[in-house]
Chains A and B, each alone.
Chain A
Amino acid sequence: MMSARNDASALTPLRLLRLGAVLAVGLFAPLVFPGYQSQATELLLFIVFALAWDLVGGQMGYNSFGNVLFVGLGMYASAIAQVGLFYDVGLYNEAKGGGTQFVFSASQFLSGLGLGLVAAALGAGLVARLLGPLVLGMRGHYFAICTLGLGIAAGQLAAGIPWIGAGSGMLTPNPPSSLGDVGLLIYYLALLLALACVASFAWLLSTRFGLVLNAIRDDEDKAEAMGLPTSRAKVTAWVVAAVFLGAAGAIYGNHVRFIDPTETAFAGATIGVWMILMALLGGKGTLLGPIVGAIVFQLTKELFWTYLLGWQRVALGVLIVVVAVFFPEGIVGYARRRRQGVEEGSS
């Protein structure tokens, strides 16, 4: 097991080549296929969602159903920072972000976006740090349902606060026309975040910390009895996941430009469960799995939206049930088992 880990982090020429290819695709895809830029941005953010869910759910075995909490917090924190730096947030939301008085210049928009990202990551991380010790003591069903409740409670609360637009939601700042296509900027931000997420998770999981997380998943009581700092590790992993989820939420908010408290920000029945589905579909507890899962899921989702219009949500629900019941090992898990089977068969 240890040697496999070392192998995974070593940079062989082949791996460098693959890395270069992925980078090139990521960098030039929106220039070559501008029609799919929006879907590609979403895909990159979905990869971050799935990876962040998997760090706690797959690697540590704490299956959270309320990670939308951090996504939504990030969205709102960023939007509030972006607006609040220059205007009164309450008035802005009262005017639904419209009118002539809420205009953002290029420098205002960019600095707001940068600061919003930082605020989103820090805000989500802070909330995770505070909630972690309370929530991560529960296991199994209780943790799952408790986090589900957290995500929905946050959405219902946000829908009742007029300062952030209450139930009618909040618009992110309108980018000035002098900036040109902001969608491209959002895409590269998402790409940067996804790369940072993959790289930092690959590093984290190759360290002793990654082993502690796996030990907690396999048998938490034994891990604790061995003297591993389980409580601290659990909270740390949750905070790391929350930071990435918050930042991804901030970018997602600016991507869709409109934050509905229960439909986009704290959307437990869509993004919240999709990220679980992506991680599971690709393969829980692997680094590659959530990435593969996000790609397959995004393709499936777009196909459903195109060919099953009106019934796409029903179809996605069916997909969740089917994957959860009949395909829990995921694509990567299945491929690994097949390959192992072949190797054992030949030797």
Chain B
Amino acid sequence: MIGNLLILYQAPALGLQLAIDGILIGAVFALAAYGMALVWGVTNIINVSQGEFVMLGGFVTVLCVEQGLPPLLAVPIAAAVLYALGWGLFQLVIVHLVGRDMFSSVLATFGIAIVLQQLMARLFGAGDRIVASGLESWFFFDHLVGIAQVKVLVFVCCIALGLSLTLFLGRSRRGQAIRAVAQDARAASVLGIETKKVYRLTYALNAAICGAAGALAAMAYTIHPYGGLSYTIRSFMIVVVAGLGNVAGVVWAALGLGVAESFAGFILGTQYQIAFVFGLLVVVLVLRNWMLKRHRRYLQ
């Protein structure tokens, strides 16, 4: 561990490499966190199956590429498949959770997460998967810093998706309806907005976003049937740090988390990277709660 720190000190270019890699994967985290914040804000449900949606999007891409489709074409397919899944899950389960206590919603979405991960492990096998993109890398500083083109592509696509979602929420009638319900569901329904439809749209939209994020992630990073929970935890942590309803904050927190994880993976060793994510969650929550406690408030 000390040795790795020394290496980092002696080779600043390596630090740059880690930072760039962290920022690039941070965009995927940002997209998943954006979706979680959307569902959280509108329905007051923490969707614990968020990460499984991401992984499922990745597996849809794997299937599409196996059928001979180009990977980028798989992104809209994954989004469409996940939109349908989100729609169906809402009708079956989530509709009963809106307005219920938080324990039921966390437990039920955790149950959905378990079902999805077990199904994925059954159908696709429990190994790591990645989709070959066929893209090269750019090298800088005498081949000391390498940037995989596919990661840049994923980054750009994620940012574009995030921007279009923001535009959709801000400009379109349906987007305005979603924001109205988030602000005050009762008032919105008095004004003739069908809140149940808005909830359903929000949940399906979130699943589609996660599916697209996962489809993109599968091109540059490995996906794994049991890898979903860490995406859920990352999303949750990002939303907690950014604060609900703060899109710019979500982006910054996500990129920051990407960089922190990248450095932690190098310094502590990759076997501790997931432990770092979950440990960081606990630290973030404890710190945040401690800061609130001085004002005699608490996280709830």
Task: List the interface of chain A (C-beta within 8 A of B).
Answer: 57, 63, 65, 134-135, 137-146, 148-150, 152-153, 156-157, 159-160, 166-167, 268-269, 273, 276, 280, 310-311, 313-314, 316-321, 324-326, 328
B233, A145: Cβ atoms under 8 Å? yes
Chain A binding surface SS class: helix
Per the bound structure, the CA–CA distance linking A145 and B50 in Å amounts to 13
A313, B103: Cβ atoms under 8 Å? no
Known A-B contacts A141-B106, A325-B97, A328-B104; the reply to A156 vs B112 at CB < 8 A is no
Known A-B contacts A144-B103, A149-B233, A313-B118; the reply to A157 vs B272 at CB < 8 A is yes
A191 vs chain B, min Cβ distance (A): 30
B111, A320: Cβ atoms under 8 Å? yes
Report chain A residues within 8 Å CB of B114: 269, 273, 313, 316-317, 320
In the A-B complex, the 4 residue pairs with the smallest Cβ-Cβ separation, listed nearest first, are A320-B111, A156-B275, A317-B115, A153-B278
B56 vs chain A, min Cβ distance (A): 14
Report chain A residues within 8 Å CB of B289: 134, 137-138, 142
The verdict on B110 contacting chain A, using a C-beta distance below 8 Å, is yes
The verdict on B269 contacting chain A, using a C-beta distance below 8 Å, is yes
Known A-B contacts A160-B272, A311-B122, A318-B115; the reply to A141 vs B279 at CB < 8 A is no
Interface string of B123-150 (1 = CB under 8 A from A): 0000000000000000000000000000
The verdict on B300 contacting chain A, using a C-beta distance below 8 Å, is yes
14 more CB-based (< 8 A) A-B contacts, given A145-B285, A153-B278: A65-B106, A139-B300, A146-B281, A150-B282, A153-B275, A156-B274, A157-B279, A160-B271, A160-B275, A317-B112, A317-B113, A319-B111, A320-B111, A328-B104
The verdict on B293 contacting chain A, using a C-beta distance below 8 Å, is yes
Q: List 27 A-B contacts (CB under 8 A).
A: A57-B103, A134-B290, A137-B299, A139-B300, A141-B106, A142-B240, A142-B289, A144-B103, A145-B46, A146-B286, A152-B278, A153-B279, A153-B282, A156-B272, A156-B274, A160-B275, A269-B114, A269-B117, A273-B107, A273-B110, A276-B107, A314-B118, A317-B111, A320-B110, A321-B112, A324-B104, A325-B96
The verdict on B102 contacting chain A, using a C-beta distance below 8 Å, is yes
Interface residues of B in 257-288 (CB under 8 A from A): 269, 271-272, 274-275, 278-279, 281-282, 285-286
A156, B278: Cβ atoms under 8 Å? yes
Per the bound structure, the CA–CA distance linking A63 and B240 in Å amounts to 19
Report chain A residues within 8 Å CB of B279: 149, 153, 157
- Across the interface, name the chain A residue whose C-beta is closest to B94: A325
B282, A324: Cβ atoms under 8 Å? no
Report chain A residues within 8 Å CB of B229: 152, 268-269
A325, B106: Cβ atoms under 8 Å? no
A137, B293: Cβ atoms under 8 Å? yes
Per the bound structure, the CA–CA distance linking A153 and B269 in Å amounts to 15
B46, A138: Cβ atoms under 8 Å? no
Per the bound structure, the CA–CA distance linking A149 and B279 in Å amounts to 7
Known A-B contacts A149-B233, A153-B282, A157-B272; the reply to A138 vs B299 at CB < 8 A is yes
The verdict on B108 contacting chain A, using a C-beta distance below 8 Å, is yes
B157 vs chain A, min Cβ distance (A): 28
Per the bound structure, the CA–CA distance linking A325 and B111 in Å amounts to 10
Task: List the interface of chain B (C-beta within 8 A of A).
Answer: 46, 93, 96-97, 102-104, 106-108, 110-115, 117-119, 122, 229, 233, 236, 240, 269, 271-272, 274-275, 278-279, 281-282, 285-286, 289-290, 293, 298-300
Per the bound structure, the CA–CA distance linking A268 and B111 in Å amounts to 12
B171 vs chain A, min Cβ distance (A): 31
B285, A321: Cβ atoms under 8 Å? no
A134, B112: Cβ atoms under 8 Å? no
B122, A314: Cβ atoms under 8 Å? yes
B119, A320: Cβ atoms under 8 Å? no
* Residue from A139, A142, A326 having most chain B Cβ neighbours under 10 A: A142
B285, A138: Cβ atoms under 8 Å? yes
Per the bound structure, the CA–CA distance linking A138 and B108 in Å amounts to 21
B207 vs chain A, min Cβ distance (A): 16
Per the bound structure, the CA–CA distance linking A318 and B271 in Å amounts to 31
B108, A325: Cβ atoms under 8 Å? yes
A316 vs chain B, min Cβ distance (A): 7
Report chain A residues within 8 Å CB of B300: 138-142
Report chain B residues within 8 Å CB of A328: 104
A315 vs chain B, min Cβ distance (A): 9
B281, A145: Cβ atoms under 8 Å? yes
- Across the interface, name the chain A residue whose C-beta is closest to B226: A269
- Across the interface, name the chain A residue whose C-beta is closest to B300: A139
B192 vs chain A, min Cβ distance (A): 29
A134 vs chain B, min Cβ distance (A): 5
Report chain A residues within 8 Å CB of B106: 63, 65, 141, 144-145
B285 vs chain A, min Cβ distance (A): 5
Per the bound structure, the CA–CA distance linking A160 and B270 in Å amounts to 10
A140, B102: Cβ atoms under 8 Å? yes
- Across the interface, name the chain B residue whose C-beta is closest to A269: B114
Per the bound structure, the CA–CA distance linking A143 and B271 in Å amounts to 26
A149, B107: Cβ atoms under 8 Å? no
Per the bound structure, the CA–CA distance linking A311 and B118 in Å amounts to 8
- Across the interface, name the chain A residue whose C-beta is closest to B268: A160
Report chain A residues within 8 Å CB of B119: 314
